[in-house]
A = this chain, B = another copy of it.
Amino acid sequence: MATVGSATSETPFFSMGEGTFKIPMTLYAENRRRLVENMKKNGHSGVILLKGGEQTTRHDTDHEDIFRQESYFHWAFGTVEADCFAALDVDTGKSTLFIPRLPEAYSIWMGTIHPPARFLKRYAVDACQFVDEIPTVMAADYKGKTIHVLYGRNSDSGNFAEPASFKGIEEFQVDRDSLFPIIANLRVFKTEAELEVMRYVSEVTSAAHVAVMRQVQVGWNEYQMEALFKFHTYNYGGCRHEAYTCICACGPSGATLHYGHAGAPNDRPIKDGQIGLLDMGAEYSCYCSDITCSYPVNGRFTQDQKDIYQGVLDAVIAVETAMKPGVSWHDMHHLALKTVTEALIKTGVLVGDAEEIIKSQLAAKFMPSGLGHLIGLDTHDVGGYLKGFPERSTLDGFKSLRTARDLEENMVLTVEPGIYFIESQVNMLLAGSEFDKYINKERLEQFRYFGGVRIEDVVLVKSDGIENFTQTPRGIDEIESVMSGGQWPPAEDKYPQ
Protein backbone atom coordinates (compact mmCIF):
# COMPACT_ATOMS: atom_id res chain seq x y z
CA MET A 1 0.00 0.00 0.00
CA ALA A 2 2.93 2.32 0.65
CA THR A 3 2.79 4.39 -2.50
CA VAL A 4 3.98 7.48 -0.64
CA GLY A 5 7.53 8.03 0.59
CA SER A 6 9.00 5.88 3.30
CA ALA A 7 12.08 5.70 5.52
CA THR A 8 15.28 4.64 3.86
CA SER A 9 16.76 1.35 4.94
CA GLU A 10 19.42 2.95 7.13
CA THR A 11 17.18 5.15 9.28
CA PRO A 12 15.60 3.44 12.26
CA PHE A 13 11.92 3.21 11.51
CA PHE A 14 8.63 1.78 12.66
CA SER A 15 6.54 -0.39 10.39
CA MET A 16 4.18 -3.33 10.65
CA GLY A 17 6.33 -5.25 8.20
CA GLU A 18 6.67 -5.70 4.47
CA GLY A 19 4.07 -3.75 2.51
CA THR A 20 3.28 -1.27 5.27
CA PHE A 21 4.49 2.27 5.69
CA LYS A 22 7.89 2.90 7.23
CA ILE A 23 7.90 5.78 9.68
CA PRO A 24 11.42 7.16 10.15
CA MET A 25 12.35 7.98 13.73
CA THR A 26 13.47 11.38 12.41
CA LEU A 27 9.76 12.29 12.49
CA TYR A 28 9.90 12.29 16.28
CA ALA A 29 13.32 13.92 16.43
CA GLU A 30 11.93 16.79 14.40
CA ASN A 31 8.97 17.16 16.74
CA ARG A 32 11.36 17.24 19.70
CA ARG A 33 13.47 19.86 17.93
CA ARG A 34 10.38 22.00 17.31
CA LEU A 35 9.33 21.62 20.92
CA VAL A 36 12.69 22.65 22.34
CA GLU A 37 12.90 25.57 19.94
CA ASN A 38 9.47 26.82 20.96
CA MET A 39 10.10 26.36 24.66
CA LYS A 40 13.27 28.44 24.35
CA LYS A 41 11.53 31.06 22.23
CA ASN A 42 9.04 31.44 25.08
CA GLY A 43 11.86 31.96 27.57
CA HIS A 44 11.89 28.50 29.17
CA SER A 45 14.82 26.39 30.23
CA GLY A 46 15.33 23.21 32.27
CA VAL A 47 13.88 19.88 31.26
CA ILE A 48 10.62 18.47 29.96
CA LEU A 49 9.45 15.24 31.59
CA LEU A 50 6.72 13.28 29.82
CA LYS A 51 4.80 10.24 31.03
CA GLY A 52 3.85 7.57 28.51
CA GLY A 53 0.61 5.63 28.60
CA GLU A 54 0.17 2.80 31.08
CA GLN A 55 -0.80 -0.79 30.32
CA THR A 56 -4.29 -1.19 31.73
CA THR A 57 -6.40 -4.19 32.68
CA ARG A 58 -10.18 -4.44 32.51
CA HIS A 59 -12.06 -3.99 35.77
CA ASP A 60 -10.55 -6.35 38.37
CA THR A 61 -9.43 -8.98 35.83
CA ASP A 62 -6.13 -9.72 34.11
CA HIS A 63 -7.63 -8.93 30.70
CA GLU A 64 -5.18 -6.53 29.06
CA ASP A 65 -6.50 -4.15 26.46
CA ILE A 66 -4.11 -3.79 23.54
CA PHE A 67 -1.91 -0.89 24.55
CA ARG A 68 -2.08 2.29 22.53
CA GLN A 69 0.44 5.02 23.30
CA GLU A 70 -0.62 8.33 24.83
CA SER A 71 -0.69 10.81 21.97
CA TYR A 72 1.63 13.56 23.28
CA PHE A 73 4.21 10.94 24.19
CA HIS A 74 3.89 9.35 20.78
CA TRP A 75 4.27 12.73 19.09
CA ALA A 76 7.63 13.28 20.78
CA PHE A 77 9.06 9.75 21.00
CA GLY A 78 7.07 7.25 18.88
CA THR A 79 7.48 4.55 21.51
CA VAL A 80 5.12 1.58 21.14
CA GLU A 81 5.82 0.14 24.61
CA ALA A 82 3.74 0.96 27.68
CA ASP A 83 4.88 2.40 30.99
CA CYS A 84 7.72 4.59 29.71
CA PHE A 85 8.76 8.12 30.61
CA ALA A 86 10.97 10.50 28.67
CA ALA A 87 13.02 13.60 29.34
CA LEU A 88 13.92 16.35 26.90
CA ASP A 89 16.53 18.91 27.89
CA VAL A 90 15.30 22.33 26.84
CA ASP A 91 18.78 23.81 26.79
CA THR A 92 20.69 21.07 24.94
CA GLY A 93 17.90 19.15 23.20
CA LYS A 94 19.16 15.89 24.72
CA SER A 95 16.46 13.21 24.71
CA THR A 96 16.33 10.41 27.27
CA LEU A 97 13.88 7.54 27.13
CA PHE A 98 13.09 5.75 30.38
CA ILE A 99 11.90 2.16 30.00
CA PRO A 100 10.45 -0.12 32.66
CA ARG A 101 12.85 -2.62 34.25
CA LEU A 102 11.26 -5.95 33.40
CA PRO A 103 11.23 -8.98 35.70
CA GLU A 104 12.99 -12.16 34.58
CA ALA A 105 9.61 -13.88 34.01
CA TYR A 106 8.90 -11.39 31.22
CA SER A 107 11.27 -13.35 28.98
CA ILE A 108 9.04 -16.41 29.24
CA TRP A 109 5.64 -14.82 28.86
CA MET A 110 6.15 -11.62 26.91
CA GLY A 111 9.36 -12.03 24.93
CA THR A 112 13.06 -11.28 24.99
CA ILE A 113 14.09 -8.60 27.46
CA HIS A 114 16.01 -6.07 25.42
CA PRO A 115 18.68 -3.85 26.96
CA PRO A 116 18.41 -0.05 26.93
CA ALA A 117 20.96 0.02 24.09
CA ARG A 118 18.40 -1.54 21.79
CA PHE A 119 15.73 1.07 22.62
CA LEU A 120 18.32 3.79 22.18
CA LYS A 121 18.90 2.62 18.63
CA ARG A 122 15.31 1.73 17.82
CA TYR A 123 13.94 5.12 18.84
CA ALA A 124 17.06 7.12 17.93
CA VAL A 125 17.20 8.92 21.25
CA ASP A 126 20.32 10.27 22.93
CA ALA A 127 20.07 8.14 26.05
CA CYS A 128 18.01 5.30 27.44
CA GLN A 129 17.74 4.35 31.11
CA PHE A 130 15.28 2.63 33.40
CA VAL A 131 12.23 4.32 34.88
CA ASP A 132 13.49 3.59 38.37
CA GLU A 133 16.54 5.72 37.56
CA ILE A 134 14.53 8.90 36.96
CA PRO A 135 15.03 10.31 40.48
CA THR A 136 18.80 9.84 40.23
CA VAL A 137 19.04 11.32 36.75
CA MET A 138 16.90 14.29 37.71
CA ALA A 139 18.86 14.92 40.90
CA ALA A 140 22.18 14.72 39.04
CA ASP A 141 21.24 16.92 36.08
CA TYR A 142 18.38 19.21 37.06
CA LYS A 143 18.85 20.24 40.68
CA GLY A 144 17.69 23.83 40.93
CA LYS A 145 16.36 23.82 37.39
CA THR A 146 12.75 23.64 36.22
CA ILE A 147 10.96 20.43 35.31
CA HIS A 148 8.19 21.07 32.82
CA VAL A 149 5.35 18.56 33.01
CA LEU A 150 2.22 18.26 30.89
CA TYR A 151 -0.97 19.52 32.45
CA GLY A 152 -3.92 21.09 30.70
CA ARG A 153 -7.52 20.63 29.66
CA ASN A 154 -8.46 18.75 26.51
CA SER A 155 -11.18 20.91 24.95
CA ASP A 156 -13.06 17.94 23.46
CA SER A 157 -13.27 15.76 26.57
CA GLY A 158 -12.86 18.29 29.36
CA ASN A 159 -10.30 15.92 30.88
CA PHE A 160 -6.82 16.89 31.94
CA ALA A 161 -3.49 15.51 30.80
CA GLU A 162 -1.79 13.60 33.62
CA PRO A 163 1.52 15.22 34.52
CA ALA A 164 4.61 13.03 34.95
CA SER A 165 5.80 12.48 38.47
CA PHE A 166 8.46 10.55 40.36
CA LYS A 167 9.54 9.99 43.92
CA GLY A 168 11.06 13.22 45.17
CA ILE A 169 9.70 15.54 42.46
CA GLU A 170 8.51 17.93 45.19
CA GLU A 171 12.14 18.91 45.74
CA PHE A 172 12.32 20.40 42.24
CA GLN A 173 10.79 23.47 40.65
CA VAL A 174 7.90 22.04 38.71
CA ASP A 175 6.15 24.05 36.00
CA ARG A 176 2.77 22.54 35.10
CA ASP A 177 1.54 25.41 32.95
CA SER A 178 4.01 26.29 30.23
CA LEU A 179 4.39 23.04 28.32
CA PHE A 180 0.78 22.22 27.47
CA PRO A 181 -0.19 25.22 25.28
CA ILE A 182 3.12 25.03 23.42
CA ILE A 183 3.05 21.33 22.62
CA ALA A 184 -0.69 21.34 21.86
CA ASN A 185 -0.23 24.17 19.41
CA LEU A 186 2.73 22.44 17.75
CA ARG A 187 0.58 19.35 17.23
CA VAL A 188 -1.86 21.48 15.21
CA PHE A 189 0.74 21.92 12.48
CA LYS A 190 1.85 18.75 10.79
CA THR A 191 5.37 18.27 9.51
CA GLU A 192 6.08 16.78 6.09
CA ALA A 193 6.97 13.48 7.77
CA GLU A 194 3.68 13.41 9.66
CA LEU A 195 1.76 14.29 6.51
CA GLU A 196 3.25 11.27 4.77
CA VAL A 197 1.87 8.99 7.49
CA MET A 198 -1.48 10.73 7.35
CA ARG A 199 -1.65 10.33 3.57
CA TYR A 200 -0.93 6.64 4.02
CA VAL A 201 -3.59 6.00 6.65
CA SER A 202 -6.22 7.87 4.62
CA GLU A 203 -5.20 5.92 1.53
CA VAL A 204 -5.67 2.63 3.45
CA THR A 205 -8.97 3.90 4.85
CA SER A 206 -10.23 4.98 1.43
CA ALA A 207 -9.43 1.61 -0.13
CA ALA A 208 -11.26 -0.20 2.67
CA HIS A 209 -14.32 2.03 2.21
CA VAL A 210 -14.38 1.19 -1.48
CA ALA A 211 -14.16 -2.54 -0.67
CA VAL A 212 -17.15 -2.27 1.68
CA MET A 213 -19.08 -0.19 -0.84
CA ARG A 214 -18.55 -2.85 -3.50
CA GLN A 215 -19.47 -5.82 -1.31
CA VAL A 216 -22.34 -4.67 0.90
CA GLN A 217 -25.58 -6.57 0.38
CA VAL A 218 -29.12 -5.92 1.46
CA GLY A 219 -29.83 -8.49 4.19
CA TRP A 220 -26.48 -8.14 5.94
CA ASN A 221 -26.38 -6.81 9.47
CA GLU A 222 -24.75 -3.39 9.71
CA TYR A 223 -21.78 -4.71 11.70
CA GLN A 224 -20.70 -6.85 8.77
CA MET A 225 -19.59 -3.64 7.09
CA GLU A 226 -17.50 -2.90 10.19
CA ALA A 227 -16.02 -6.41 10.08
CA LEU A 228 -15.05 -5.99 6.43
CA PHE A 229 -13.62 -2.52 6.92
CA LYS A 230 -11.46 -3.60 9.84
CA PHE A 231 -10.25 -6.61 7.91
CA HIS A 232 -9.17 -4.46 4.98
CA THR A 233 -7.40 -1.79 7.00
CA TYR A 234 -5.55 -4.37 9.06
CA ASN A 235 -4.83 -7.00 6.43
CA TYR A 236 -3.78 -4.60 3.68
CA GLY A 237 -2.60 -1.62 5.71
CA GLY A 238 -1.24 -3.05 8.97
CA CYS A 239 -3.67 -0.88 10.94
CA ARG A 240 -4.38 -2.77 14.15
CA HIS A 241 -6.49 -0.03 15.71
CA GLU A 242 -9.34 1.96 14.32
CA ALA A 243 -9.15 5.70 14.94
CA TYR A 244 -12.62 5.56 16.55
CA THR A 245 -15.60 3.24 16.82
CA CYS A 246 -16.93 2.38 13.37
CA ILE A 247 -20.28 3.97 12.57
CA CYS A 248 -22.15 1.66 10.19
CA ALA A 249 -25.54 3.27 10.07
CA CYS A 250 -28.11 2.24 7.48
CA GLY A 251 -31.50 3.90 7.12
CA PRO A 252 -32.83 5.41 10.37
CA SER A 253 -29.57 4.57 12.22
CA GLY A 254 -27.87 7.30 10.17
CA ALA A 255 -29.69 9.98 12.13
CA THR A 256 -27.73 9.05 15.26
CA LEU A 257 -24.48 10.95 14.82
CA HIS A 258 -22.36 8.68 17.01
CA TYR A 259 -24.14 5.41 16.20
CA GLY A 260 -22.08 2.25 16.70
CA HIS A 261 -21.36 2.47 20.44
CA ALA A 262 -22.15 -0.43 22.78
CA GLY A 263 -25.72 0.75 23.28
CA ALA A 264 -26.34 0.89 19.49
CA PRO A 265 -23.72 -1.54 18.16
CA ASN A 266 -24.32 -1.55 14.38
CA ASP A 267 -26.68 -4.47 14.90
CA ARG A 268 -29.61 -3.64 12.65
CA PRO A 269 -30.39 -5.50 9.42
CA ILE A 270 -29.62 -3.64 6.21
CA LYS A 271 -32.79 -3.10 4.19
CA ASP A 272 -33.44 -2.45 0.55
CA GLY A 273 -33.91 1.24 -0.25
CA GLN A 274 -31.91 2.50 2.71
CA ILE A 275 -29.05 4.95 2.45
CA GLY A 276 -26.00 3.94 4.45
CA LEU A 277 -23.79 6.34 6.38
CA LEU A 278 -20.38 4.75 6.93
CA ASP A 279 -18.03 6.72 9.14
CA MET A 280 -14.88 4.65 9.60
CA GLY A 281 -11.21 5.50 9.89
CA ALA A 282 -8.08 3.49 10.49
CA GLU A 283 -5.10 4.39 12.64
CA TYR A 284 -1.49 3.66 11.76
CA SER A 285 1.12 4.17 14.45
CA CYS A 286 -1.38 6.43 16.25
CA TYR A 287 -2.01 8.66 13.22
CA CYS A 288 -5.71 8.79 12.40
CA SER A 289 -7.95 8.92 9.41
CA ASP A 290 -11.66 9.78 9.60
CA ILE A 291 -13.69 9.30 6.43
CA THR A 292 -17.42 9.07 5.89
CA CYS A 293 -19.08 7.69 2.79
CA SER A 294 -22.84 7.73 2.27
CA TYR A 295 -24.50 5.65 -0.42
CA PRO A 296 -27.62 3.63 -1.12
CA VAL A 297 -27.07 0.08 0.12
CA ASN A 298 -28.62 -1.37 -3.03
CA GLY A 299 -26.32 0.67 -5.28
CA ARG A 300 -28.94 3.00 -6.82
CA PHE A 301 -29.95 6.41 -5.47
CA THR A 302 -33.64 7.33 -5.28
CA GLN A 303 -34.53 10.91 -6.22
CA ASP A 304 -34.88 11.92 -2.54
CA GLN A 305 -31.52 10.33 -1.76
CA LYS A 306 -29.97 12.18 -4.71
CA ASP A 307 -31.37 15.49 -3.49
CA ILE A 308 -30.08 15.14 0.04
CA TYR A 309 -26.75 13.59 -0.98
CA GLN A 310 -26.04 16.22 -3.62
CA GLY A 311 -26.78 18.99 -1.12
CA VAL A 312 -24.16 17.60 1.24
CA LEU A 313 -21.67 17.05 -1.57
CA ASP A 314 -22.22 20.62 -2.75
CA ALA A 315 -21.37 21.76 0.78
CA VAL A 316 -18.15 19.72 0.73
CA ILE A 317 -17.16 21.17 -2.63
CA ALA A 318 -18.04 24.73 -1.60
CA VAL A 319 -15.99 24.47 1.57
CA GLU A 320 -13.01 22.71 0.02
CA THR A 321 -12.92 25.23 -2.78
CA ALA A 322 -12.90 28.11 -0.31
CA MET A 323 -10.43 26.68 2.22
CA LYS A 324 -7.02 28.32 2.39
CA PRO A 325 -4.86 30.04 4.99
CA GLY A 326 -6.60 32.97 6.66
CA VAL A 327 -10.11 31.65 6.15
CA SER A 328 -12.23 31.42 9.31
CA TRP A 329 -13.47 27.92 10.16
CA HIS A 330 -16.57 29.53 11.59
CA ASP A 331 -17.26 31.02 8.17
CA MET A 332 -16.71 27.64 6.54
CA HIS A 333 -19.29 26.12 8.87
CA HIS A 334 -21.69 28.87 7.84
CA LEU A 335 -21.00 28.18 4.17
CA ALA A 336 -21.70 24.47 4.61
CA LEU A 337 -24.84 25.14 6.61
CA LYS A 338 -26.09 27.52 3.94
CA THR A 339 -25.47 24.99 1.19
CA VAL A 340 -27.30 22.14 2.94
CA THR A 341 -30.13 24.49 3.93
CA GLU A 342 -30.56 25.45 0.29
CA ALA A 343 -30.73 21.76 -0.59
CA LEU A 344 -33.46 21.26 2.03
CA ILE A 345 -35.35 24.19 0.53
CA LYS A 346 -34.93 22.85 -2.97
CA THR A 347 -36.21 19.41 -2.04
CA GLY A 348 -39.19 20.96 -0.29
CA VAL A 349 -38.58 20.16 3.36
CA LEU A 350 -37.84 23.76 4.28
CA VAL A 351 -39.54 26.90 3.02
CA GLY A 352 -38.07 30.40 3.02
CA ASP A 353 -34.72 32.10 2.94
CA ALA A 354 -31.61 30.09 3.80
CA GLU A 355 -29.89 32.85 5.79
CA GLU A 356 -33.03 33.50 7.77
CA ILE A 357 -33.41 29.78 8.50
CA ILE A 358 -29.80 29.61 9.69
CA LYS A 359 -30.29 32.66 11.88
CA SER A 360 -33.37 31.09 13.48
CA GLN A 361 -31.13 28.12 14.45
CA LEU A 362 -33.51 25.79 12.59
CA ALA A 363 -30.82 24.75 10.10
CA ALA A 364 -28.79 23.35 13.00
CA LYS A 365 -31.62 20.89 13.73
CA PHE A 366 -30.65 19.16 10.49
CA MET A 367 -26.90 19.63 10.90
CA PRO A 368 -26.19 19.84 14.63
CA SER A 369 -22.57 18.78 14.23
CA GLY A 370 -19.61 21.00 13.57
CA LEU A 371 -18.29 21.16 10.00
CA GLY A 372 -15.08 19.38 10.93
CA HIS A 373 -12.19 19.11 13.34
CA LEU A 374 -8.45 19.06 13.49
CA ILE A 375 -7.12 15.51 13.08
CA GLY A 376 -3.74 13.94 13.78
CA LEU A 377 -2.66 11.68 16.62
CA ASP A 378 -6.20 11.94 17.93
CA THR A 379 -9.26 11.81 15.73
CA HIS A 380 -10.44 14.95 17.48
CA ASP A 381 -7.00 16.46 17.63
CA VAL A 382 -5.75 18.93 20.19
CA GLY A 383 -5.26 22.68 19.92
CA GLY A 384 -8.79 23.60 18.93
CA TYR A 385 -9.46 26.16 21.67
CA LEU A 386 -6.12 27.27 23.06
CA LYS A 387 -5.82 30.57 24.89
CA GLY A 388 -5.42 33.48 22.50
CA PHE A 389 -7.50 31.91 19.75
CA PRO A 390 -11.22 32.43 18.98
CA GLU A 391 -13.53 30.98 21.62
CA ARG A 392 -16.33 28.48 21.22
CA SER A 393 -19.58 29.89 19.80
CA THR A 394 -22.83 29.59 21.73
CA LEU A 395 -24.99 29.09 18.62
CA ASP A 396 -26.44 25.63 17.86
CA GLY A 397 -24.22 23.74 15.44
CA PHE A 398 -21.45 26.36 15.61
CA LYS A 399 -20.91 25.46 19.26
CA SER A 400 -20.17 21.89 18.19
CA LEU A 401 -17.16 23.06 16.19
CA ARG A 402 -14.05 21.62 17.82
CA THR A 403 -12.09 24.68 16.77
CA ALA A 404 -12.96 28.20 15.71
CA ARG A 405 -9.45 29.06 14.56
CA ASP A 406 -8.61 30.62 11.24
CA LEU A 407 -7.03 28.15 8.86
CA GLU A 408 -3.25 28.02 8.60
CA GLU A 409 -0.88 26.09 6.40
CA ASN A 410 -0.19 22.50 7.52
CA MET A 411 -3.36 22.14 9.54
CA VAL A 412 -5.17 18.89 8.74
CA LEU A 413 -8.91 18.93 9.23
CA THR A 414 -11.97 16.93 8.38
CA VAL A 415 -14.70 18.46 6.27
CA GLU A 416 -17.91 16.68 7.21
CA PRO A 417 -21.16 18.44 6.56
CA GLY A 418 -24.35 16.41 6.80
CA ILE A 419 -28.10 16.38 6.72
CA TYR A 420 -29.80 14.35 9.44
CA PHE A 421 -33.44 13.60 10.12
CA ILE A 422 -33.13 13.03 13.86
CA GLU A 423 -36.16 11.40 15.49
CA SER A 424 -36.41 13.77 18.45
CA GLN A 425 -35.95 16.83 16.23
CA VAL A 426 -38.36 15.67 13.53
CA ASN A 427 -41.01 14.88 16.18
CA MET A 428 -40.56 18.31 17.69
CA LEU A 429 -40.88 20.03 14.31
CA LEU A 430 -43.89 17.97 13.23
CA ALA A 431 -45.67 18.57 16.53
CA GLY A 432 -45.54 22.29 15.83
CA SER A 433 -42.93 24.77 16.98
CA GLU A 434 -41.55 28.27 16.59
CA PHE A 435 -40.24 27.06 13.21
CA ASP A 436 -43.65 26.24 11.71
CA LYS A 437 -43.42 28.86 8.96
CA TYR A 438 -40.21 27.31 7.58
CA ILE A 439 -41.43 23.70 7.58
CA ASN A 440 -43.34 21.73 4.95
CA LYS A 441 -44.62 19.10 7.37
CA GLU A 442 -45.97 16.80 4.71
CA ARG A 443 -42.60 16.71 2.97
CA LEU A 444 -40.67 16.38 6.25
CA GLU A 445 -42.87 13.43 7.20
CA GLN A 446 -41.59 11.65 4.08
CA PHE A 447 -38.04 11.84 5.48
CA ARG A 448 -38.98 10.55 8.93
CA TYR A 449 -37.10 7.25 8.51
CA PHE A 450 -34.56 8.46 5.99
CA GLY A 451 -31.67 8.59 8.46
CA GLY A 452 -28.83 10.84 7.44
CA VAL A 453 -26.15 11.67 4.93
CA ARG A 454 -22.64 12.72 5.89
CA ILE A 455 -19.65 13.11 3.60
CA GLU A 456 -16.32 13.43 5.35
CA ASP A 457 -12.93 14.13 3.85
CA VAL A 458 -9.53 14.54 5.47
CA VAL A 459 -7.82 17.57 3.99
CA LEU A 460 -4.56 19.42 4.39
CA VAL A 461 -4.43 23.20 4.29
CA LYS A 462 -1.73 24.31 1.85
CA SER A 463 -0.46 27.76 0.97
CA ASP A 464 -2.91 28.15 -1.91
CA GLY A 465 -5.79 25.84 -1.00
CA ILE A 466 -6.04 22.25 0.11
CA GLU A 467 -4.86 18.74 -0.61
CA ASN A 468 -7.53 16.06 -0.15
CA PHE A 469 -6.22 12.85 1.41
CA THR A 470 -9.52 11.07 0.73
CA GLN A 471 -9.74 8.86 -2.33
CA THR A 472 -13.27 7.50 -2.41
CA PRO A 473 -16.04 7.89 -5.00
CA ARG A 474 -17.98 11.08 -4.23
CA GLY A 475 -20.12 11.88 -7.25
CA ILE A 476 -23.50 10.12 -7.50
CA ASP A 477 -22.49 8.69 -10.87
CA GLU A 478 -19.11 7.56 -9.49
CA ILE A 479 -20.76 5.77 -6.56
CA GLU A 480 -23.34 4.03 -8.72
CA SER A 481 -20.59 3.01 -11.10
CA VAL A 482 -18.29 1.60 -8.41
CA MET A 483 -21.16 -0.23 -6.73
CA SER A 484 -22.04 -1.93 -9.98
CA GLY A 485 -18.46 -3.06 -10.55
CA GLY A 486 -16.98 -0.01 -12.25
CA GLN A 487 -13.31 0.87 -12.13
CA TRP A 488 -11.85 2.73 -9.13
CA PRO A 489 -9.90 4.95 -9.11
CA PRO A 490 -11.39 6.21 -12.37
CA ALA A 491 -9.32 6.72 -15.49
CA GLU A 492 -10.05 10.44 -15.19
CA ASP A 493 -11.13 12.32 -12.05
CA LYS A 494 -14.09 14.54 -12.85
CA TYR A 495 -14.30 16.13 -9.42
CA PRO A 496 -12.10 18.79 -7.89
CA GLN A 497 -9.42 17.85 -5.34
Q: Mark A61-72, 1 if CB is under 8 A from B, else 0.
A: 111111110110
| Residues of B with C-beta under 8 A to A20 | 221
Copies, count: 2
Specify which of B81, B110, B161 is in contact with A256 (CB 8 Å cutoff).
Answer: B110
Q: Mark A45-85, 1 if CB is under 8 A from B, else 0.
A: 00000000101011111111111101100000000111000
**Complex formed: what's the CA distance from A418 to B50 in Å?**
41
| Residues of B with C-beta under 8 A to A71 | 59, 61
Q: Are B82 and A262 in contact (CB under 8 A)?
A: yes
Interface of chain A residues 103 through 137 with chain B (CB within 8 A)? 104, 107-113
Q: A66-B261, A231-B235 are in contact. List 19 more A-B contacts (CB 8 A).
A: A16-B267, A17-B269, A60-B162, A61-B154, A63-B378, A63-B380, A80-B263, A104-B424, A107-B422, A107-B423, A108-B257, A108-B425, A109-B257, A110-B257, A223-B234, A226-B240, A227-B231, A227-B234, A228-B235
Given A112-B423, A258-B109, are A61 and B19 also a contact pair (CB < 8 Å)? Answer: no
**Complex formed: what's the CA distance from A60 to B20 in Å?**
29
Nearest chain B residue, comparing its CB with the CB of A263:
B81
A159 interfacial by beta-carbon distance below 8 Å: yes
Closest 8 CB pairs between A and B?
A231-B231, A67-B262, A62-B157, A227-B234, A227-B235, A107-B424, A17-B221, A62-B156
A residues lining the B interface (CB < 8 Å): 16-20, 53, 55, 57-68, 70-71, 80-82, 104, 107-113, 154, 156-157, 159-162, 221, 223-224, 226-228, 230-231, 234-235, 238, 240, 244-245, 256-259, 261-265, 267-269, 368, 378-380, 422-425
| Residues of B with C-beta under 8 A to A109 | 256-258
Given A110-B261, A221-B19, are A58 and B66 also a contact pair (CB < 8 Å)? Answer: no
| Residues of B with C-beta under 8 A to A244 | 63-64
Specify which of B16, B161, B423 is in contact with A60 (CB 8 Å cutoff).
Answer: B161
Q: Are A16 and B157 in contact (CB under 8 A)?
A: no
| Residues of B with C-beta under 8 A to A157 | 57, 60-62
A59, A80, A244, A269: residue with the most chain B Cβ atoms closer than 10 Å = A59
Q: Are A70 and B59 in contact (CB under 8 A)?
A: yes
A-B contact pairs, 8 of them (CB 8 A): A17-B268, A57-B157, A66-B265, A110-B258, A227-B235, A230-B230, A231-B231, A231-B235
